[in-house]
């Protein structure tokens, strides 16, 4: 790949959280809080299964032992501004000094937004990009993120995605560099109860968040290195984690890949699949990972068709897609063309084997598809994909 980058252009990588990764990593949380002088926290949890688990009981005893008081909030579904406002008010009510999020992307995003909302006047909705008119000031309670799914990478990012569903719906970000969690405590044991469908969808989200920043126009040598490492581990572990949820080494590999995907997307940008995911999530109640996963292979095929062999930037993207195939499959087909074809094939195979559903299952029809295509932004995709092509891609996955 050296010939692709004869020079390193100036770039910036934002702060990353302190990372504690490995089985039982969660057990260090109470002592970390104590060492930071934190005595009162809000805990936002997602899954009902976690609240019924021994891990939750154990965490509460450890908090009590460390003399940390807590108030807990549960979220079901994706976070809305009104939910976040309620949590922020609850945090103010106990004069919380930190926030702990234990759950999937929804719980962590809700916690991230509520930690910021603690300091903000009015509703969090007023501060959402493209929705509100106010800019967040960057103050936030420190956030400790414990993901229970391997997917969104939000434990490493500076934005929280909030949504309202419906005709006037939106799915938009609250964003500030200071919103990056202070610590990501990534304990693959917390993912053991994650059902195969959620493991599959979140894993495909992570995979999309590795491939899109890798070929992005905003890619940097450092995010490339992280994307390559993430692709290697996603290739080794995604299918295994879906097919055997108690495979802790597969869970660990996917948790690592997902964390890297968050750093990659925050620093190198995303592509057409995520460009379509925002309007899709506003139009219908579809899990973000399912949408990304169902569209990834077909979007890749369209993108490869659009890449012009004579364009040097496009040539870099093609070589990267080819390299992604080698990392993901562990096999080298010898040529860029051969590996690009293998990447499409592998993603189509994965989509089938791990059972990523189609769009119609979530109420999408030809009209919804047209609306989503019209609202799709290309983001940092390496090649332009017009609305007609986005519509055709979505129809293939209806």
Q: In this structure, are residues 185 and 29 in contact, taking their beta carbons and an 8 Å threshold?
A: yes
Compute φ and ψ for 279, nearest 5 degrees. Answer: -65, -30
**Nearest distance in Å: CB 284, Fe ion:** 16
**Nearest distance in Å: CB 153, Fe ion:** 7
**Nearest distance in Å: CB 134, Fe ion:** 26
**Nearest distance in Å: CB 74, Fe ion:** 23
| Residues binding Fe ion (CB under 5 A) | 205
Which residue, 85 or 205, is less far from Fe ion as judged by CB?
205
> What is the spatial distance between Cα 223 and Cα 156, in angstroms, rounded to a whole number?
13
> What is the spatial distance between Cα 285 and Cα 163, in angstroms, rounded to a whole number?
10
Which residue, 42 or 269, is less far from Fe ion as judged by CB?
269
Which residue, 203 or 253, is less far from Fe ion as judged by CB?
203
> What is the spatial distance between Cα 134 and Cα 137, in angstroms, rounded to a whole number?
9
**Nearest distance in Å: CB 155, Fe ion:** 13
Task: Read off the tokens for 274.
Answer: 């995520």
Which residue, 205 or 224, is less far from Fe ion as judged by CB?
205
**Nearest distance in Å: CB 277, Fe ion:** 6
Which residue, 102 or 201, is less far from Fe ion as judged by CB?
201
> What is the spatial distance between Cα 236 and Cα 86, in angstroms, rounded to a whole number?
41
- Strand, helix or coil for residue 18: strand
Please choose, from the candidates 339, 353, 327, the residue with its C-alpha nearest in 3D space to the C-alpha of residue 233.
Answer: 327
DSSP sequence for 335-379: SHHHHHHHHHHHHHHHHHHTTPPPGGGGT--HHHHHHHHHT---T
CB-nearest residue to Fe ion: 205
- Strand, helix or coil for residue 116: helix
Which residue, 29 or 280, is less far from Fe ion as judged by CB?
280
């Amino acid at each position: 790949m050296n010939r692709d980058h004869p020079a390193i252009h100036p770039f910036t990588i934002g702060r990353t959280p302190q990372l504690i990764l490995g089985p039982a990593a969660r057990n260090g949380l109470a002592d970390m809080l104590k060492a930071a002088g934190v005595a009162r926290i809000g805990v936002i949890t997602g899954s009902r299964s976690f609240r019924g688990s021994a891990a939750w009981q154990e965490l509460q005893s450890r908090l009590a032992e460390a003399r940390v008081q807590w108030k807990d909030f549960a979220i079901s579904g994706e976070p809305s501004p009104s939910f976040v406002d309620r949590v922020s008010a609850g945090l103010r009510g106990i004069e919380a000094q930190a926030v702990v999020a234990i759950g999937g992307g929804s719980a962590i995003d809700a916690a991230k937004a509520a930690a910021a909302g603690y300091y903000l006047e009015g509703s969090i909705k007023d501060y959402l990009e493209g929705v509100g008119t106010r800019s967040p000031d960057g103050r936030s309670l420190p956030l400790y993120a414990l993901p229970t799914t391997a997917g969104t990478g939000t434990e490493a990012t500076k934005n929280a995605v909030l949504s309202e569903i419906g005709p006037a719906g939106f799915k938009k970000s609250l964003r500030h560099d200071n919103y990056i969690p202070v610590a990501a405590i990534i304990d693959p044991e917390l993912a053991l109860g994650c059902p195969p469908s959620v493991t599959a969808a979140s894993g495909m989200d992570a995979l999309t968040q590795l491939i899109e920043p890798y070929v992005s126009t905003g890619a940097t040598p450092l995010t490339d290195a992280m994307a390559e490492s993430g692709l290697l581990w996603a290739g080794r572990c995604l299918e295994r984690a879906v097919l055997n949820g108690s495979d802790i080494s597969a869970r660990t590999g996917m948790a690592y890949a997902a964390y890297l995907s968050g750093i990659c997307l925050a620093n190198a940008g995303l592509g057409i699949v995520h460009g379509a995911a925002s309007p899709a999530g506003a139009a219908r109640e579809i899990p973000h990972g399912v949408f990304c996963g169902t569209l990834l292979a077909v979007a890749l095929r369209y993108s490869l068709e659009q890449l012009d062999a004579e364009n040097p930037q496009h040539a870099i993207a093609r070589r990267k897609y080819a390299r992604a195939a080698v990392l993901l499959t562990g096999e080298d087909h010898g040529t860029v063309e051969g590996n690009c074809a293998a990447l499409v094939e592998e993603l189509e195979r994965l989509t089938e084997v791990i059972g990523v559903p189609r769009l119609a299952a979530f109420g999408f029809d030809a009209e919804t598809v047209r609306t989503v295509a019209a609202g799709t932004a290309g983001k940092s995709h390496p090649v332009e994909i017009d609305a007609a092509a986005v519509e055709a891609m979505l129809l293939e996955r209806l």
